[in-house]
Amino acid sequence: METARKVSESSLTLAIDIGILDLKKAEFYETPGGFTGLRYEGKDYDRIILRRALPIGHPMEYISVADKDNKEIGIIRSLAELSEEQYAIVAAELESRYYSPTVHEIKSVKDKLGYVYMELVIGRDGAKYAKNCAVKDVSRNIRMLDDDRLAIFDVDGNRYIIQSLSGLDKKSLKRLEPYLF
Amino acid sequence: MSFCCPIRFEGETRMKTYIPEYMLSAFAAQGIDVSGLVYAIHADAVDKSEYMDVYIAVSSDTMYILYGLEKVVKTSGARRIVAVYEAEKLETRPFSELGELKSELLLSTGRLCSEKDGASKILLVFSIGFLADVERLLKVIKNIRKGVPALEDIIVDDELFCHKCGTRYPEPERKLCPKCMDKISITRRLMGFFADYRSKVIVIFLTMLAGSLFSVFSPLVGSKFFFDEVLTEGGSYYGAILAAILLIFAVRAVGVALNILYSYVLAKTVPWIVQDLKLKIFEAMQRLSVGFYTSKRTGSLMNRVNRDANNIYWFFVDGLPYVVVNLFTFTGIITLMCMLSFKLALICIIILPVAIGFFRMLWSIFRRFHHRNWVYSSQLNSMVSDSVNGQRVIKAFAREDTEAVRFAEIGGKQAAVDIGAFNIGYTAFPLIYLFMFFGQVVVTALGGNMVLKGEISLGTLLTFIAYLSMLYGPLEFMSWVSNWWARCVDSAQRVFEIIDAKPDVTEPDDPVILDRIRGDIELKDVKFEYDPATPVLKGLNLSVKAGEMLGIVGKTGAGKSTMANLIARLYDVTEGTITIDGINVRQLSLTQLRQSIGIVSQDIYLFIGTIADNIRYARPNATMEEVIRAAKAASAHDFIMNLPDAYETRVGAGGQDLSGGEKQRLSIARTILQDPDILILDEATAAMDTETEANIQKALFELQKGRTTIAIAHRLSTLRDADSLAVISDGRVVESGTHRELMLRKGEYYKLYKIQLEGLKVINMEG
């Protein structure tokens, strides 16, 4: 068994280079136009595309970096390997691509003829605000991301995340329960 | 702050402008001359993890972006009202400073960018939900720059909200407010389907009313009459037990007979009405454009139509008749109760709502448990189906034990919920019945007291008790039938939506009909997008002369098939023109256009029927000889003759299984019989093995003779005979010319050719 594993590692797993970026040679920067750029191995990519390989489970690991023509330059194994200043640039770019408001409370849920109207409290702790949204086809648009996290997709295409269903207050949970799964 | 005048009309020219009142005052507070503003949208800014409410307004030469935070206060019955807007900063951007404006779709956001002199700049990053609004804003700016009216072809924001109650339409293009939907008029329209069956409907209602009349009178005869008049000394029919029993039986028998009669007539009428409805839906669906079927909201169109038709069917078969019966029964019983003893009737009327309230409360608890149970059951079911369908993979990777653990996990959760549901079920329902019985006990106790006091007779009391139990049914039914009705109306609305839908691609008012289509095709600056901000064709230019063959090469997703669909007018271009023989396809007769274009694509659809029927689909009157000739030309005849039923072999759903190559040859035979003037081959041989491809190529070569042909292919070898070639990349033609010219140019085509040649060499070496 042990030998079999070794063979497979040497033959396949190690044979394919997934192109992990050597972060010592990488410099992320913000362009004057507000885009994120990368200088890597002597090349300057003035507009890069960042995408998460594991956006739900590990949003800060395995980040694909592509040039403006969508050709992958390489992969960042973990943002933790970046310096503080570099981290801030990459994280800000990711955040602006993946922005999904966090839901803290569900004020009301009304089911009207196939559409579910929700009044949500979203935002950060310091600045919470109410948002009304309409959800159609709840079985598809209210769905669990993992055991405890839930995503709500409204008719406009916005995505709201409940970070912890078990951490939600009782009233909100009761309002949401008929539409779960 | 009111929202009374969202649309203003400006000056003598009555140029339409759109600025919601609340935005107008926010911009005015910044010292902007709001009289010059033309259009404004509400978006947000989500850059750098910060959230801001953003108002963007444009005048004839400037764009203003106002950042701030707004607090929305909702008042009942009115549209949302902005109470406070705390502006933080204003950006003023004259159009002269802005370059080409573009919106880009990111993953869950979008961004507004400007490009000028080779430099790009992000102006705003916003939530994806505002993409459509930003797109509209860009169109307004484009209109202003072009010098056409700013709001030409623009849906103003106000049209996104219900004018009556201010609720946002769940689907802007549907303009249907679930809150204000006129249920009555939809029901009336639905009832219109009954018009042709008027006499039967009258019979149904009369028999139903008569049936419920008999059931209402049944306790009166069975209890009051029997106890007070037959069994009580001094009664009018004292001792006439046999006659009384016969009367009781007769009353019940007539009631049952009426019920049978009404069910019989109903069963004979409603299916025809639903059939009429389904036929209307089906006819409407044939009229609609391809875009209707591919748009997201009609993803599961067939399921929806069936489910909606069934919802309507069951409401009319099961719901509506019982509404009538129950309403009549309820009114009849209450009236009779009041006539018998007003005091006791009053007690019943007080008890009933309490019983119903209690019943609904218990029911809602039970439903919650039931829902959880249902959730886990469906998870378990999908797991079982996953496991059955994936058995080969499970075994190949030796994952049987892991699968069993997964199953046990979900099964355990379901078992826990099951226990809860059983407990609730076994407790709730006996409790409900106990409470209902309690109502009867109260009436019996109070009524018994009244009997002892001589206020009412024993027969009256027994009749009351019988009526009380008869009242629960109608009341309970009425408490949830409104939801049922709402569901039926919603289904009806969706059905009517399909019936009333206008196709995107329509026949022109005065269509041009050509004697013969020669086949000169020209695409000029064609732009097209299926979804906003995701253009597929970005200014495509190409032409092909009559009788020539044009080969189209490009990567997957470059827009090749879209182009073919646009030529056949399955969709209309967003911008630019497509002409055939110098005439815009939008002006040509749609029937003639479609009959003149034959498309052989990778997607082959065979209808349920024989092979011969499928080949003659385009020309149903073709003779058998013509069918065989077409099959021979398509190299299909030999395999057809090897099938036991040959040309009469049934194919399509549930029919004979054919291989991809065989199906493709049938579709080519179908196109040969159609004899089109223009032929589009869209990756016709992409999924075939080399030998089948060679056979099909031969068939296609026959088909191409003397016709304008546009051949789209991955494999360049299939385009060797093309008179000219075009390479499409990212929605544009990046290269065109003959094979020789393109090879000499050493551009994209040369690169693709080399890659494929290298690939072939590797295969040969390995072989």
Residue B388 CA to residue A74 CA, distance in Å, equals 39
B181: nearest CA partner in chain A: A113
Rounded average pLDDT over B576-589: 90
Closest partner residue to A33 (CB to CB) among B109, B119, B179 is B119
Note whether A80 and A115 are same-domain residues.
no
Please check whether residues A51 and A89 belong to one and the same domain: yes
Q: How many domains does chain A have?
A: 2
Q: Are residues B603 and B752 in the same domain?
A: yes
Question: Which residues make Cβ contacts (< 8 Å) with residue B572, sequence separation at least 6?
Answer: B504, B505, B566, B586
Q: Report, as an integer, the average pLDDT of B225-231.
A: 86
Domain co-membership, B189 together with B264 = yes
Q: pLDDT for A40-95, tens place per residue?
A: 998 999 899 999 988 888 889 999 999 988 889 999 999 999 999 999 999 999 98
- Given an 8 Å threshold on Cβ–Cβ distance, is B128 in contact with A157? yes
* Shortest distance, CA B400 to any CA of chain A (angstroms): 18
Residues of B in contact with A154 (CB under 8 A): 129
Q: What is the CATH number of the domain that holds B568?
A: 3.40.50.300
Check whether residue B191 and residue B68 sit in a common domain. Answer: no
The answer to whether residue B570 scores a pLDDT higher than 70 is: yes
Contact B477, B169 (CB under 8 A): no
Query: Quick check: B475 pLDDT over 80?
Result: no
Q: Give the residue with greater pLDDT, B405 vs B370.
A: B405
Residue A180 is nearest to which of B113, B119, B375, comparing CB atoms? B375
How far apart are the C-alpha atoms of B501 and B763, rounded to whole Å?
53
CB contact under 8 A, B49 and A95: yes
pLDDT for B127-139, tens place per residue?
888 888 898 899 8
Q: What value does the mean pLDDT take over residues B448-460?
A: 88
pLDDT of residue B684: 77
Query: Is a pLDDT exceeding 50 seen at residue B328?
Result: yes
Q: What pLDDT is attached to residue B440? A: 80
Share of chain B above pLDDT 70, in %: 86
A144 and A91 in a common domain:
no
Containing structural domain, residue B122: 7-160
Verify that B565 and B620 share a domain, yes or no: yes
**Minimal C-alpha gap between B726 and chain A (Å):** 21
Q: What is the 3-state secondary structure (H, E, C) of B209-251?
A: HHHHHHHHHHHHHHHHHHHHHHHCCCCCCCCCHHHHHHHHHHH
B526 and B401 within one domain: no
Q: Which of A35, A70, A98 is the last residue of a domain?
A: A98
A6 CB within 8 Å of a chain B CB: no
What's the rounded mean pLDDT across residues B145-171? 71
Interchain contact, A117 vs B167, CB within 8 Å: yes
Question: Is B128 close to A159, i.e. CB distance below 8 A?
Answer: yes
Candidates B106, B381, B494: best to mutate against A (most CBs of A within 10 A) is: B106
Distance from CA of A132 to the nearest CA of B (A): 9
pLDDT at B373 over 70: yes
Looking up tokens 């000028």, which residue turns up? Answer: B116
Tell whether B514 is covered by a domain.
no
Looking at per-residue pLDDT, the higher value among A76 and B45 belongs to A76
User: What end-to-end distance do the CA atoms of chain B give, in Å?
Assistant: 79
Tokens of B44: 């947000």
Q: What are phi and psi of A41, to 5 degrees?
A: 45, 50
Decide: helix, strand or coil at residue B325. Answer: helix
Residue B535 inside a domain? The answer is yes
Distance from CA of B49 to the nearest CA of A (A): 6
Q: Are residues A94 and A13 in the same domain?
A: yes
Residue B130 shares a structural domain with residue B227: no
Is B47 part of any domain? yes
Contacts with A157 from chain B: Cβ below 8 Å: 128-129, 131
* CATH at residue B106: 2.30.29.30
| CA closest to A132 among chain B residues | B168
* Co-location of B530 and B629 in the same domain: yes
Subunit contact B107:A127, Cβ cutoff 8 A: no
Which one of A99, A103, A136, A165 makes the best mutation probe of the B interface by having the most chain B beta carbons within 10 Å?
A99
Q: Are residues B323 and B387 in the same domain?
A: no
Task: Judge whether B605 lies within some domain.
Answer: yes
pLDDT greater than 70 at residue B79: no
* Distances from the Cα of B587 to the Cα of B542, B573, B590, B630, B734, angstroms: 20, 13, 8, 32, 29
Give A-chain residues touching B122 at CB under 8 angstroms. 33-35
A86/A107 same-domain check: no
pLDDT band at A6 (very low <50, low <70, confident <90, very high): very low
Per-residue pLDDT of B611-670, as tens digits, reads 999 998 888 888 999 899 888 888 889 889 988 888 998 887 666 778 888 888 898 889
Distance CA B418, CA B512 (A): 68
Please tell me whether residue B134 adopts helix, strand or coil conformation: helix
Torsion angle of alpha carbons B369, B372, B377, B378, nearest 10°?
A: 140
Residues B375, B390 within the same domain? yes
* Mean pLDDT lowest among B160-174, B186-200, B242-256, B737-751: B160-174
Q: What is the pLDDT of residue B497?
A: 72
CA–centroid distance for B645 within its chain: 40
Look at residues A95, A97, A106, A103 and name the one whose alpha carbon lies nearest to residue A151.
Answer: A103
Interface test with A, best of B88, B97, B123, B127 (most A CBs within 10 A): B127
**Within a domain: residue B703?**
yes
Residues A177, B48: C-beta atoms closer than 8 Å: no
Mean pLDDT, all residues of chain A: 84
- DSSP string over B76-128: TTS--EEEEEEEEEEEEEETTT--EEEEEE-SSEEEEEEEETTEEEEEEEEEG
Say yes or no: B34 and B75 in one domain: yes
Identify the band that residue A14 occupies on the pLDDT scale cut at 50, 70 and 90. low
Residue B63 φ/ψ, nearest 5 degrees: -115, 130
> Closest partner residue to B121 among A33, A127, A158, by Cβ?
A33
Q: Is the dihedral of CA B450, B456, B457, B462 positive or negative?
A: negative
Query: How many angstroms separate the CA of residue B691 from the nearest CA in chain A?
Result: 33
The answer to whether the Cβ–Cβ distance between A47 and B167 falls below 8 Å is no
pLDDT above 80 for A117: yes
**Residue B22's pLDDT band (boundaries 50, 70, 90)?**
confident
Residue A88, classed as helix, strand or coil, is helix
- Among A115-119, A154-158, B351-355, B397-401, where is mean pLDDT lowest? B351-355
Residues B344 and B337: their CA atoms lie apart, in Å, by: 8
CA distance A115 to chain B (A): 7
Same domain, A131 and A166: yes
At A38 the pLDDT is 95
**Which A residues 26-65 touch B at CB under 8 Å?**
31-35, 47, 51
Residue A35 binned pLDDT confidence (cut-offs 50, 70, 90): very high
Show the tokens assigned to B185: 């008029």
Give the model's confidence band at B547: pLDDT under 50 very low, under 70 low, under 90 confident, else very high. Answer: confident
B300, closest residue in chain A (CA to CA): A137
Q: For chains A and B, what is the number of CB pairs under 8 angstroms?
A: 94
Pairing of strands A128-136, B109-116: unpaired
Which residues, listed in sequence order, are joined to residue B56 by a DSSP beta bridge? B41, B65
> Taking 90 as the threshold, does the pLDDT of residue A106 lie above it?
yes
Given an 8 Å threshold on Cβ–Cβ distance, is B489 in contact with A97? no
Q: B76-85, B187-196, B206-215: lowest mean pLDDT where?
A: B76-85
Q: What is the pLDDT of residues B167-181, one digit of tens each?
A: 666 666 666 666 666
Tell me: pLDDT of B1 over 60.
no
Q: Is A94 in the same domain as A126?
A: no
What's the gap in Å between the CA of B181 and the closest CA on chain A?
9
Residue where one domain finishes, among candidates A29, A63, A98: A98
Which domain covers residue A59, as residue numbers? 2-98
CA distance A16 to B644: 51
Contacts of A34 in chain B (CB under 8 A): 121-122
Range from B7-16, B222-231, B302-311, B580-589 carrying the lowest mean pLDDT: B7-16
Q: B477-506 pLDDT, tens per residue? A: 776 777 777 777 777 877 777 777 677 777
Mean confidence (pLDDT) of chain B: 80
Structure tokens that stand for B738 in this block: 């003959």
| Number of compact structural domains in chain B | 4
Q: How far apart are CA A105 and CA B698, in angstroms?
A: 66
Q: What is the pLDDT of residue B50?
A: 66
Q: What is the pLDDT of residue B767?
A: 47
At A8 the pLDDT is 47
Please check whether residues A62 and A146 belong to one and the same domain: no
Amino acid residing at B285: M
B201 and B85 within one domain? no
Last residue of a domain, one of A98, A122, A147: A98
Contact present, A121 and A110 (Cβ < 8 Å): no
Query: Mean pLDDT over residues B92-106, rounded?
Result: 89
Distance from CA of B120 to the nearest CA of A (A): 6
Residue B369 has pLDDT above 60, yes or no: yes
User: β-pairing, B534-544 with B521-531?
Assistant: antiparallel
H helix runs in B391-543, sequence order: 391-396, 400-452, 458-500
Please answer whether residues B600 and B681 qualify as being in contact, where contact means their C-beta atoms are separated by less than 8 angstroms.
yes
Looking up tokens 């149904």, which residue turns up?
B204
pLDDT band at B601 (very low <50, low <70, confident <90, very high): confident
Same domain for A78 and A31, yes or no, is yes
Task: Judge whether B480 lies within some domain.
Answer: no
